Amino acid sequence: MPDVHRVTVVTDATMTRLGYVDRIITVLGRRPERVALQIIDDVEAEPSVAQALGLDGGAEELAAAVEKLRDAVGIEPGFRDLGVAEEDYLAQLPQQARDAYEDQCAPANPRMPMLQDMEALMRAAFYGKE
């Protein structure tokens, strides 16, 4: 990356305290070209999406912000609005819900969704409803 002349490192105080930022500084210091370095290490470790966006109203405020962004960039609210055929979508829904339920990532959710939860989410995604 010879064309890099400015680097901003955004991290939390723990990463700085553990010496990771010092390692970055050392590596950048070895470059023949000087690099302007900005370190921002006062961010919260593992912030939620809402916190990163500066929202403090919880899930409802985050959902409203995402919907506002969706509308602003012109994304349709549901698959139906994108022209997906309802009959085809609903015919595939049981298998798609089962696949999502059995996916290895599903247990990592804060609340393990049940099969009927998956189907309800997928129906809402089709019709563009909450």
DSSP reduced 3-state for 60: helix
Please give the average pLDDT of every successive group of 10 residues along the chain, which has 130 residues: 81 88 89 88 78 79 89 92 95 94 83 88 86
Question: Crossing angle of helices 115-127/86-102, nearest 10°?
Answer: 140
Where is 7: in which H helix or E strand?
strand 6-10
Q: What is the pLDDT of residue 2?
A: 66
Residue type, 26: T
Question: CA 24 to CA 35: how far, in whole Å?
Answer: 11
Q: What is the pLDDT of residue 119?
A: 94
Q: What is the pLDDT of residue 110?
A: 81
Please state whether beta strands 6-10 and 36-40 pair in parallel, antiparallel, or not at all (unpaired): parallel
